[in-house]
Amino acid sequence: MDTSGEVWSYRPATHKTQHHNKDRVIFFGPKSQEVLRPHLLRDETHYCFCPSEGERKRRAAAHDRRVTPSGQGNEPGTNRKSSPQRKAGECYTPDSYRRAIHRACEMAGVEKWSPNRLRHSAATAIRKQFGLEASQVVMGHAGANVTQIYAVRDQAKAAEVMSKVG
């Protein structure tokens, strides 16, 4: 992560088009930096977002909300399976990230959605404000044809054009 400029940049060690000798750079503006900054205060060999760390924090918060006095009932960690089927890892994978979102949606009682919706929404917003090429570059697409799949066309623009040309 290069945090030296006004806009930060990150070049992942591996990405899905590296075998085509494509370079991948992800940029972070002020809003993203604000979210990431606290997570960068760790050893650079560790992941920014760690499921096992999140699980530890969740369990600690549950313990703090505990109503039953200490010494009565289960003590923290005593009612855990010795070999759980699912164990929080040191980093999110695309599948674990999606599953975490699905579980959160179920717990909140809202419609289930997937992480790719964020990407589609961002591509559409960028295309609407800055144009197709900007959206293509930010999304890291080699061609505009892929970006057009991600970024929904702006129907309002067509209506505006037709209102002016008849």
Question: Taking the model in full, what pTM does it have?
Answer: 0.67
Structure tokens at 45: 């060999």
Q: Quick one: CA dihedral 42, 45, 48, 50, positive or negative?
A: negative
Instruction: Give 79-121 pLDDT, tens digit per residue.
Output: 777 788 878 888 888 898 898 899 899 999 999 999 888 888 8
- Compute the average pLDDT of residues 40-55: 85
